Amino acid sequence: MRKLSADFRRVISLFIVSAALTLAANAQIFSGEPKSDLTEEAIAGAAQTDDAFDRKNEFSVWGGFAPDIPRVFGGSRESTFGKIGLRYSRRIATTENLALKYQIDFIPLAIINYEQERIIRLTPTPLGVDRNSVTAYGAGLTPVNFQLNFRRRSKIQPFITAEAGLLIFNKSIPDDRSALRPNQVGRRFNFTLAGGGGVEFLTDDARSYTVGFKFHHISNASTGNINPGFDQNLFYFGYTFKKF
């Protein structure tokens, strides 16, 4: 638990400090009304676009999948993972070019598939490893989630994210119990850490599409008898259907 807490503090602290420094460096003070030679129609269209950029609240749906592929980071047990989420976002700080959002995700479904590794005795005396594919289903919440958007008044906005949450599965993961090692089991309750980035594409009707990548980690924080952890390359797609 201490290791997860330390990792969590490092990830969130680094993100918050980086976001704060970036916001401070880009902060600008504007005053007065700029002169414009635009037509009334163009001004109305620009005002509508600005209104879409300035809306603080959002509702989104998204889904992600992590195939069992080589990982750039992490050395934990291999797995295939996917989840879908419902998200509420609120913009909590802005400059002319940046927007910092706080987000909370409800995860109604998460699926993980991994290879069970059970130690068994072979005839007559050697020990071996029995490997089987295991699938577990879960749900959870990501209550700590920050996203920093760049070029916030553009229809194409790159962003970076950092998040921490929890998932509860229908069975303990991993579960490597055998007659020789009956205590080789993790937990149903697991924690998640993730960080990454992507691009948000805004539409004319105040909606948006998101594509991104996260380095995603699942761990029971050593609260189970074993805790190999699962590190995943998570690719995801999202749709924001309401901004207000």
10-14, 97-101, 184-188, range with the lowest pLDDT: 10-14
List, for residues 213-222, the tens digit of each pLDDT value: 999 999 999 9
Residue 196 pLDDT exceeds 70: yes
Dihedral of alpha carbons 176, 180, 182, 186, sign: negative
- The model's pLDDT over 15-57, given as tens digits with 9 standing for 90+, comes to 655 555 555 555 543 334 444 454 555 444 444 556 667 889 9
What integer pLDDT is reported at residue 54 of this predicted model? 81
What is the structure's pLDDT at 25?
A: 53
Cα distance between residue 233 and residue 65, in whole Å: 8
Architecture of the structural domain at 2-20+57-243: Beta Barrel (2.40)
| % pLDDT > 90, the chain | 62
The mean of the pLDDT values for the chain is 84
Lowest mean pLDDT among 64-78, 106-120, 178-192, 195-209: 64-78
| pLDDT over 70 at 232, yes or no | yes
Rounded to an integer, what distance in angstroms lies between the CA atom of residue 238 and that of residue 209?
6
Residue 126, preceding bond cis, omega within 30 degrees?
A: no
Residue 14 has pLDDT above 70, yes or no: no
CA distance 233 to 17: 25
Triad 19, 194, 191: Cα angle to 5°: 125
Element (H, E) at 50: helix 40-54
DSSP label at residue 153? T
**CA–CA dist 130, 165 (Å, integer):** 32
